Amino acid sequence: MTAAKPASRPHVPHFSSGPCAKRPGWNPDNLKDAALGRSHRAKVGKAKLKLAIELTREVLEVPADYKIGIVPASDTGAVEMALWSLLGARPVTTLAWESFGEGWVSDIVKELKLKDVTKLNAAYGEIPDLSKVDPASDVVFTWNGTTSGVRVPNADWISATREGLTICDATSAAFAQPLDFAKLDVVTFSWQKALGGEAAHGMLILSPRAVERLETYKPAWPLPKIFRLTKGGKLNQGIFEGETINTPSMLCVEDYLDALNWAKSIGGLKALIARADANTKALADWKAKTPWIDFLAKDPAIRSNTSVCLKFTDPAITSLPADAQADFCKKLVALVEKENAGFDFAYYRDAPAGLRIWCGATVEAKDVELLTQWIDWAFAETKAALPKAA
């Protein structure tokens, strides 16, 4: 038996976990003041880049003594700059419970070839034992596991008297979850995540302790130009005043400024977090009345409010081989996409088969609710098409 299609579609059917949905009310006219055709080193270009840094500090509530820089290659570039510039001075502890965290572990062990590394791992849907982190070591971790839907519950596990640095990939947490900057020495994120900006540029935030490490420690390996944060043994202050290492897209800069100004207009960080929480609650309410779906992260304390990952619990699905479960998910998502009712909400390729729905602040809760209706319909249709057991 086929199910009836829902009567309404999401107003904005964009649920990708990156690039993420544009902010409500966005249109290309918002970018008409972009400094197109102008040098990023001209007065107008430098002013816009500096403003992007200033608004980031204001909206994200970054302490005044922390440095904020715009760097190449998105969040990946920002994380790599930190790893290659700061690690090697003391032992390292890595935390990984999803694919991006695993990627940083691989770079540390296989590319930097550091030997004194303690790896604390957990399966998808879980988190490592944070009490095992050695405060004498440098710590590398993601605040929010974008591909698993698992985040750290808080920063209480980080020692206030730590000797090592904490290097935090916060790309799907910034602007949606409270970051305890007193416990964080390096924070990175990209424009295309929680505020729905455009790609290619990353943000690198450094504590005074991280700056001290940069100015007193020289890595044993050579650093390519786009990784160099110091000049003559001192922090390159220009990077943190809008003088980018390479040429930024001024169109992307304008779009980021638009997103930051929107965030400021609705009430700043508190309002952004509340919107993400409301979107996630819409999924929680749906899950509570839907017997065949559950969160991949069972513990609510570690459950993401941005990249929310879900798994099927219906025995008709879970009893299938892994490749058949993956095929089921792809067909379900394809049905919804064909109806223009929701895009890009399938699981990440390295994660367990299921759904991943972006619930960051640029998404509307009503659209999340409408998406769940379409998932209900698509689930019934896809399940009905499964081969019947002999």
| Model confidence band, residue 390 (pLDDT cutoffs 50, 70, 90) | very low
Same domain? 231 vs 370: no
Domain count, the chain: 2
pLDDT of 389 over the 90 cut: no
Range(s) of the domain holding residue 104: 28-264
Same domain? 260 vs 274: no
In-domain check, residue 17: no
How far is residue 94's CA from residue 96's CA, in Å, rounded to a whole number?
Answer: 7
β 201-206/67-72 pair status: antiparallel
Same domain? 255 vs 284: no
Same domain? 277 vs 254: no
* Mean pLDDT to the nearest integer, 140-157: 98
Same domain? 195 vs 298: no
Same domain? 344 vs 202: no
How far is residue 344's CA from residue 337's CA, in Å, rounded to a whole number?
Answer: 8
In-domain check, residue 21: no
CATH number at residue 107: 3.40.640.10
pLDDT of 335 over the 90 cut: yes
- Three-state SS for the chain is CCCCCCCCCCCCCECCCCCCCCCCCCCHHHHCCCCCCCCCCCHHHHHHHHHHHHHHHHHHCCCCCCEEEEEECHHHHHHHHHHHHHCCCCCEEEEECCHHHHHHHHHHHHHCCCCCEEEEECCCCCCCCHHHCCCCCEEEEECEECCCCEECCCCCCCCCCCCCCEEEECCCCCCCCCCCHHHCCEEEEECCCCCCCCCCEEEEEECHHHHHHHHHCCCCCCCCHHHCCEECCEECHHHHHCCCCCCCCHHHHHHHHHHHHHHHHCCHHHHHHHHHHHHHHHHHHHHHCCCCEEECCCCHHHECCCEEEEEECCHHHHCCCHHHHHHHHHHHHHHHHHCCCCECCECCCCCCCCEEEECCCCCCHHHHHHHHHHHHHHHHHHHHCCCCCC
Last residue of a domain, one of 264, 280, 295: 264
Q: Which pLDDT does position 200 carry in this prediction?
A: 87
In-domain check, residue 19: no
| Model confidence band, residue 388 (pLDDT cutoffs 50, 70, 90) | confident
CATH number at residue 290: 3.90.1150.10
pLDDT of 3 over the 90 cut: no
Helix axes 208-216, 74-86, angle to 10 degrees: 50
* Mean pLDDT to the nearest integer, 198-202: 92
Same domain? 274 vs 299: yes
Same domain? 288 vs 246: no
Structure tokens given for 141? 């971790």
Structure tokens given for 186? 């390096």
* Mean pLDDT to the nearest integer, 110-116: 97
* Mean pLDDT to the nearest integer, 308-314: 98
pLDDT above 90: percentage of residues in the chain: 97
pLDDT above 70: percentage of residues in the chain: 99
Same domain? 171 vs 288: no
pLDDT of 1 over the 80 cut: no
pLDDT of 144 over the 70 cut: yes
* Mean pLDDT to the nearest integer, 297-317: 97
Same domain? 228 vs 287: no
User: What tens digit of pLDDT does each residue of 245-265 get?
Assistant: 999 999 999 999 999 999 999
Same domain? 192 vs 251: yes
How far is residue 389's CA from residue 43's CA, in Å, rounded to a whole number?
Answer: 70
pLDDT of 64 over the 60 cut: yes
Rg (CA), the chain: 22
Q: Which pLDDT does position 56 carry in this prediction?
A: 98
In-domain check, residue 6: no
Last residue of a domain, one of 229, 264, 299: 264
Last residue of a domain, one of 264, 283, 307: 264
- Whether this prediction's pTM lies above 0.85 is answered by yes
* Mean pLDDT to the nearest integer, 170-190: 98
* Mean pLDDT to the nearest integer, 107-125: 98
Contacts of 338 (CB under 8 A, 6+ apart): none
* Mean pLDDT to the nearest integer, 257-277: 98
Same domain? 97 vs 173: yes
Select from 107, 63, 65, 67 the least CA-distant residue to 87. Answer: 107
How far is residue 328's CA from residue 320's CA, in Å, rounded to a whole number?
Answer: 9
In-domain check, residue 365: yes
